[in-house]
Amino acid sequence: MKVLVAVKRVVDFNVKVRVKADQTGVELANVKMSMNPFDEIAVEEAVRMKEAGKATEIIAVSMGPAACQETIRTALAMGADRGILVQTDAELQPLAVAKLLKAIVAKENPQLVVLGKQAIDDDSNQTGQMLAALLGWPQGTFASKVALDGGKAAVTREVDGGLETVSLTLPCIVTTDLRLNEPRYASLPNIMKAKKKPIETIAPDALGVDVAPRLVTLRVEEPAKRKGGTKLPDIPTLIDKLRNEAKVL
C-alpha cells in the first residue's frame, strides 16, 4: 500500500510570532522554521504503518518555496521513502493546496493520504476535507487512532461528545490529531541517509493547477494586550461592572 503524507513548513511552535511593521503579514525573515506539528504526527503514523507491514512506500509532499526541501528531508529522516516538492513562491491557500494534492494523487495513485488536521500558521483546518471532496473519497478527520484491516481503515476520531469510530473503505483521507501518536526524533544516521533520498520538484503549471489566491489579506494586527485584573469588594459591584462596563448582562 502506498501512503501519501502532506507536510507544511511553518514558523516553529516555540517562536513568538511578530507582525510586520506594514501589517501585511507576519515576520518570516531570520525566523526558525520547522515542520507543522500535526504533520509530524501524520508522518509518524505512516512510518508506523510501514513498520507494521501495512504500507510499502511513503511519499512526503510539500508545497512552497525551495526551502520546503528542508521539511521534506525531515520527513525522509523520520522514515519516508521519497519526496515531492511543488515549488512556488505564490501564497498557497487551502483550496489551491487541495487541488495540487489531487493532481499528485492522480499521478502517484496512493491508497491512503494522511495530513495534519490543521497548520499552526493559519489554523484553517480545511485542506483534508477539501481534498476528500475533490477526490470523492471517504474521510476520517481528527483521528486519535487508525487501524488498517484489509481494504478498510477504522478511524477513531474526537468529537464534542467523546470518541467516534468510523469505518472507511480505501482509498481514503485521514487527518491527524495530537493524541494519535508521539513523533520520533530523527537519528543522525537517518538524517544522513535522508540526504540521498530522491526529491522530485514540480511546478504548479505542470500539474495544471491555478494557485492564484481567492482571498486577500487586508491587514494583520496583533491581539490587544490583556488588561490587569481588579479586586472588587462585593457581588453587587461585580454585577454592576458586568452589566454597565462589560455589557454581558
Chain segment 51-89, per-residue pLDDT in tens:
999 999 999 999 999 999 999 999 999 999 999 999 999
Residue 234 CB-density burial (10 A; 0-12 exposed, 13-18 middle, 19+ buried): exposed
Please report the pLDDT score of residue 228 as a whole number: 80
Q: How far apart (Å, rounded) are the C-alpha atoms in residues 138 and 134?
A: 11
Residue 48, SS3 per DSSP: helix
Residues in the chain predicted with pLDDT less than 50, given as ranges, are none
Please report the pLDDT score of residue 158 as a whole number: 85
Predicted TM-score (pTM) of the model is 0.85
Please report the pLDDT score of residue 87 as a whole number: 95
Can you name the residues that pair with 62 across neighbouring β-strands? Answer: 85
Query: What would the grid cell of residue 51 be?
Result: 513498520
Please report the pLDDT score of residue 51 as a whole number: 94
Which residues does 144 contact at the CB level (< 8 Å), separation at least 6? Answer: 156, 157, 158, 163, 177, 179, 180
User: At the topology level of CATH, where does 2-244 sit?
Assistant: Rossmann fold (3.40.50)
Q: How far apart (Å, rounded) are the C-alpha atoms in residues 249 and 53?
A: 59
Q: Give whole-number Cα distances, 186 to 55, 193, 218, in Å.
A: 20, 11, 40
Query: What would the grid cell of residue 173 be?
Result: 483521507
Listing DSSP states for 120-159 in one string gives TTT----HHHHHHHHHT--EEEEEEEEEEETTEEEEEEEE
